[in-house]
Amino acid sequence: MEKQTHDYDMVKHTLAFISENWREQPSLDTLADQAGLSPTHLQRLFTRWAGLSPKAFLQAVTIDHARGLLRDSASILDASYELGLSGPGRLHDLFVTHEGMSPGTYKAHGRGLNIQYGFHDCPFGRALILITSEGLAGLAFADHGKEKSALADMTSRWPEATYVENQQATAAYARRIFESERWQPDQPLRIVFIGSDFEIRVWETLLRIPFGKASTYSDIACHIGKPKAARAVGSAVGKNPISFVVPCHRVLEKSGGLGGYHWGLTRKRAILGWEAGAMAA
């Protein structure tokens, strides 16, 4: 009986730890370390008492939070359309002003476009910033040592553009984006969309999803007047070239599942957790 009580207490402690620290997506090794057990022992013990593995419980907690974000998602989009990006509800956290590049530039794969780029550390790994003379054109993420792959992915979107590394120029954008005290409504961050007309309409709608909230692919499809185009919306969301600033991470599946994310689901969870923490601060 004493051993059973001890086992139950260990599982209860682990359940509480996951519930309180799900935003960090703790690994099995981390959970085992805080419980003072081996990973194998904790896996068996937790599964026997809880009926599912620590990983499955972590996923359930994450999805439950995602469903919470989705509550009233359609009405959130309705309200943001009525109020506009700079409305009194402060619906857009980064205070962004935007414009689309000419269709000709997009169709020419960026020919004639000069893009400067640089890598910078940020809360979510390495951030690749791409700018033009008009403003921010791209923001990608990479793990340390994977910078070349991230750069190749972004340059393949506009292969005919000219690219020049300029850390000094892009550093100002990195600070402006990741240091929330620099988010000033009277100094909006200027961004430039380079995509098809349909993609730009989707990306503009993403800008209307408020900080700490979420929407679904089908809701976005309805709001751009294409209610049957949820799959095409999903494709456009996946091609969003300005991650974080244009919050594609706030788009979830209708079930509350996280869906996909071009830069990895671990990073998507981290960004959503960072936003939740910022809301609570």
**Which sequence positions are flagged as catalytic?**
248
- Both tokens of 182, joined, read 């620099």
Burial annotation 95-129 (CB, 10 A radius, 16+ → b, else e)? ebebebbeeebbeeebeebebbbbbbebebbbbbb
The Cα diameter of the chain in Å comes to 76
b/e map 188-212, b = 16+ CB within 10 Å = bbebbbbbeeebbbbbebbbbbbbe
Looking from the CA of 18 toward its CB, the CA atoms found within 13 Å total: 25
User: Rounded to the nearest 5°, which phi and psi values hold at 110?
Assistant: 85, 10
What residues are paired with 140 via a beta bridge? 128
3-state secondary structure of 32: helix
